[in-house]
Amino acid sequence: MLNIGKFKVHGFSCNSYFLTTDEKNFVVIDPGQAEVYEEAKARGMTVPFVLLTHGHFDHIRGCARFQAAGAKIGCLQGEEDIALCHNLGEVYGDGPVPPFKIDFTFQDNELLTLCGISFRVIASPGHSRGGACFLVTTKEKNYVPGVLFTGDTLFMDSVGRTDGPTGSEEELFSSLQRLAAIGEDYLVFSGHGKQTTLLREKRENPFLRGL
């Protein structure tokens, strides 16, 4: 059974997620601070893989700790450079990011199977050049028909900003059109803020309405 845990870190309040099907091996999405690793360690989690929705400093600060413990870290092909700009946090007044390396990359529409969980990659440039969303389809009662991890592409009632490094308003609009075209409803877990649903955002989010 798929279980999803959310951990909201301090600072820029990035949402980090733990996913597991066996309560032993976990995939972590966007470990925003080292405290995410400490939480995983305290719970006795084994984390073989970390997925990044994008490489901005507030989503990657915990990567070095996970990597030192044996986790492989992946991002969309083309986002490696920004994920490795460890001084980017200093630009925003949040200090340098502990260094790590990208172990693997993935491409648009690729299917990743990690810890028994299948992630469909949806490239979603706009907030950053190599942004990605992850679609997990499941028929379990808590997540019918599935869940969509949107990073900083889509939030409840809002979308990601485009004035940062490699951001593009035009690309973000195209990415939102693609998300809006998904036929079924999904729970949406974003990089910041509250959980929502794709159907609600199509109906209520001013950036998705009418797409």
The arithmetic mean of pLDDT across residues 141-154, rounded, is: 93
Domains identified in the chain, total number: 1
168 within domain boundaries: yes
Give me the residue label for tokens 């980017």.
88
Contact 14, 59 (CB under 8 A): yes
Q: What is the pLDDT of residue 88?
A: 58
pLDDT band (50, 70, 90) for residue 121: very high
47 within domain boundaries: yes
pTM metric for this prediction = 0.94
154 within domain boundaries: yes
**Residue-number span of the structural domain to which 104 is assigned:** 3-204
53 within domain boundaries: yes
pLDDT band (50, 70, 90) for residue 148: very high
Q: Which residues pair with 74 in a beta bridge?
A: 51, 104
Question: For 82-119, what is each residue's pLDDT tens digit?
Answer: 776 656 555 555 677 888 999 999 999 999 999 999 99
211 within domain boundaries: no
Q: What is the pLDDT of residue 89?
A: 55
90 within domain boundaries: yes
Q: What is the pLDDT of residue 82?
A: 75
Q: How would you class 75 by CB atoms within 10 Å of its CB: exposed for 0-12, middle for 13-18, buried for 19 or more?
A: buried
| Mean per-residue pLDDT of the chain | 91
pLDDT band (50, 70, 90) for residue 11: low
As a whole-number percent, the residues of the chain with pLDDT over 70 amount to 92
CATH number at residue 168: 3.60.15.10
Q: Supply the DSSP symbol for 80.
A: H
